[in-house]
């Protein structure tokens, strides 16, 4: 059972219904236990404001209205019970006891709702063994999500340096779904996989999902979701080795898109055909194609640059400006969008 509005438990203490920050006393779990009349849970920015509100109602002296201040870390709340009104026909305690927020109450309420998560973030950033610090908790936080940014400001000291050296600042969210807390790694920086059409991006998304599964996560839309299991610092440390493989998938997607565009070009196909039997390209101001059999021919710097960028041609080992056809590249025999990709990247 969770607290009402993720804030308080309504308990019976000496026969009086009282909002409490912890489940003390006889906790009310069903609407039928409330009795007659209507209820409201008033939430304030501070305990002093709540106390003043209660005092104001009591000063009016209406016998049909009961007001009870909250206890056990819920002192900024007041439960108002009006016995002179008919109770609404509701099924849940949250419907039977609606929440009324007063000035400056929202931030205080979110601090209560996300108290354990905020404490975990603070603890993670202060941990001397941590290679990162919490940079900022977003103002866009609400009852369902707590966005935050982690800044890897000591990454050079981390044993997985090569995996996170380009991570810098990463965006995450903690969300509550089906009674479980999840850490969402926001994949906003994976431009190729995010913006590519679903049919073309499917195999790359499947690769990312396979990587996520090795860390007990899964790809959901444009996020990787990990169950937190009460150890945020441990989780943020544990998933660092996933960064490199995930970014590699996105890099491969970008390269494959560049390759597809160049591959369609008749001029590129002519070069590929000339190189397929073992020919090379000599770079420089007067770049030329040197087929294994036949006469050399010129190649424009623009086309050579596109072939290199798409990794259709690569430098010949031991040579500074001599290029060969990349492994797996063949003259076009089918739809260029059906060219087989390289084997999927696997995590070591």
- Taking the domains of the chain in order of start, what are their residue ranges? 9-106, 114-255, 264-338
Pair of tokens at residue 78 = 């007041």
In which residue are the tokens 């849970």 written? 41
pLDDT, position 29: 84
CB atoms within 10 A of CB 61: 7
Query: Which run of H or of E encompasses 175?
Result: strand 169-177
Strand partners, 323: 281, 315
pLDDT, position 158: 55
In the 8-state DSSP scheme, what is residue 208?
H
For β-strands 180-186 and 65-69, DSSP reports them as unpaired
- Phi-psi group of 339: left, alpha or beta (phi > 0 → left; psi -120 to 50 → alpha; rest → beta): beta
The closest of 313, 308, 307, 305 to 280, measured between CA atoms, is 313
The closest of 208, 212, 175 to 194, measured between CA atoms, is 208
pLDDT, position 214: 95
Which residues of the chain carry a pLDDT beneath 70?
A: 1, 103-109, 111, 122-136, 139, 151-169, 333-348
Residues 247/166, Cβ–Cβ less than 8 Å: yes
pTM for this model (two decimals):
0.56
In angstroms, the CA 116 to CA 22 distance is: 13
In angstroms, the CA 346 to CA 248 distance is: 10
In the 8-state DSSP scheme, what is residue 99?
E
pLDDT, position 225: 94
């Amino acid at each position: 059972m969770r607290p009402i509005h993720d804030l308080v438990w309504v308990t019976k203490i000496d026969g009086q219904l009282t909002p409490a920050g912890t489940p003390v006393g006889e906790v009310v779990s069903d609407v039928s236990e409330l009795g007659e009349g209507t209820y409201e849970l008033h939430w304030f920015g501070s305990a002093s404001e709540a106390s003043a509100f209660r005092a104001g109602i009591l000063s009016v002296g209406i016998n049909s209205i009961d007001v009870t201040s909250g206890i056990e870390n819920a002192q900024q709340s007041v439960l108002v019970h009006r016995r002179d009104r008919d109770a609404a026909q509701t099924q849940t305690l949250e419907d039977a006891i609606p929440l009324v927020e007063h000035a400056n109450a929202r931030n205080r309420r979110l601090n209560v709702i996300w108290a354990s998560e905020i404490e975990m973030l603070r603890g993670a950033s202060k941990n001397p063994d941590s290679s990162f610090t919490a940079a900022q908790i977003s103002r866009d936080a609400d009852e369902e999500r707590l966005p935050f940014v982690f800044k890897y400001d000591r990454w050079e000291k981390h044993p997985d340096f090569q995996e996170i050296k380009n991570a810098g600042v990463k965006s995450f969210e903690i969300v509550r779904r089906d009674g479980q807390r999840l850490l969402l790694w926001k994949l906003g920086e994976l431009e190729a996989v995010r913006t590519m059409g679903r049919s073309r991006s499917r195999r790359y998304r499947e690769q990312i999902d396979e990587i996520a599964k090795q860390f007990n996560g899964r790809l959901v839309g444009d996020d990787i979701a990990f169950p937190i299991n009460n150890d945020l610092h441990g989780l943020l440390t544990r998933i660092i080795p996933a960064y490199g493989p995930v970014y590699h998938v996105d890099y491969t997607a970008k390269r494959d898109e560049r390759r597809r565009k160049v591959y369609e070009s008749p001029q590129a196909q002519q070069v590929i055909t000339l190189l397929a039997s073992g020919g090379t390209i000599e770079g420089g101001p007067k770049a030329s194609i040197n087929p294994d059999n036949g006469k050399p021919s010129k190649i424009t710097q623009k086309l050579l640059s596109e072939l290199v960028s798409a990794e259709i041609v690569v430098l010949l080992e031991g040579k500074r400006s001599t290029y060969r056809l990349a492994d797996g590249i063949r003259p076009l025999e089918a739809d260029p969008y059906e060219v087989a990709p390289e084997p999927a990247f696997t995590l070591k």
